[in-house]
Amino acid sequence: MGKRYSGQGYHRNIVGDARFFLALASGKRARFAVNELLDPVTDLLPEQYSARSSLTRAFFCLLALQKPLYRENGEPIPLNGPALSHANRTQRHHIFPQAQLRGKFSAKVYNRLCNICFLVSRDNKSIGMKLPRSYLAEFRAADRKLFPRLTRSHLIPAAPNDAVWHRGTVAAFKRVQHERLGLICAEFEKAAGIKLFSTK
């Protein structure tokens, strides 16, 4: 995630980490410390969903770990190898549709990871240009019991006071990005079992 094995730190980190793991393999006990914490706002928030970076790949693995659900029946969406492939974009959905954000934001803003979740192609097409406050309200009305699990499985903050329900596309989008960023960071740290992000 932190591009530890690229750039200036490549040689130092890979050699040091190799020594650490060799020591573990020989029976020594040690704790691996991550000293290069990521800044959520500068390292994660700007990341593009179409990038081939380690962070983008880690993000889609994290989404898959949540076992995202179908909206109709609450069953897990099958996310095997092809679905997670960089080339397969049919199951990647913009939470705020691109068409609603063009002219208000640059593509680099609305194509950020924080605006992407997994959704099957047919649902993607049925949502079309609807804003999340509209289509999520439809999902909630269809099954109020399933709805909290559904949105949680996609890491979409959709509690009653969350910004996803707010009017004003620009303000709502900005707030949802930061609310979801916090949720994503928390899930990354939960999956890793260590602190990964700096807090300000």
Residue 88 predicted with pLDDT over 60: no
d(CA 128, CA 81): 26
Residues 77, 112 share a domain = yes
Helix (H) or strand (E) holding 94: strand 92-94
| pLDDT surpassing 60 at residue 90 | no
Domain boundaries, position 123: 38-192
Query: Which band of pLDDT confidence, cut at 50, 70 and 90, is reported for residue 86?
Result: very low
- Model pLDDT, residue 2: 74
DSSP state of 131: -
Residue 198 lies in a domain: no
Question: Using an 8 Å Cβ cutoff, are 68 and 118 in contact?
Answer: yes
pLDDT at residue 89, as a whole number: 53
Q: Which of 78, 59, 58 is nearest to 68 (CA)?
A: 78
Whether the model pTM is above 0.95: no
Residue 197 resides in a domain: no
Is 49:56 a contact under the CB 8 Å cutoff? Answer: yes
Asked whether residue 67 falls in the same domain as residue 100, the answer is yes
Q: Are 102 and 115 in contact (CB under 8 A)?
A: no
Residues 83 and 94 in one domain: yes
Q: Are residues 31 and 81 in the same domain?
A: no
Encoding tokens for residue 81? 């190898």
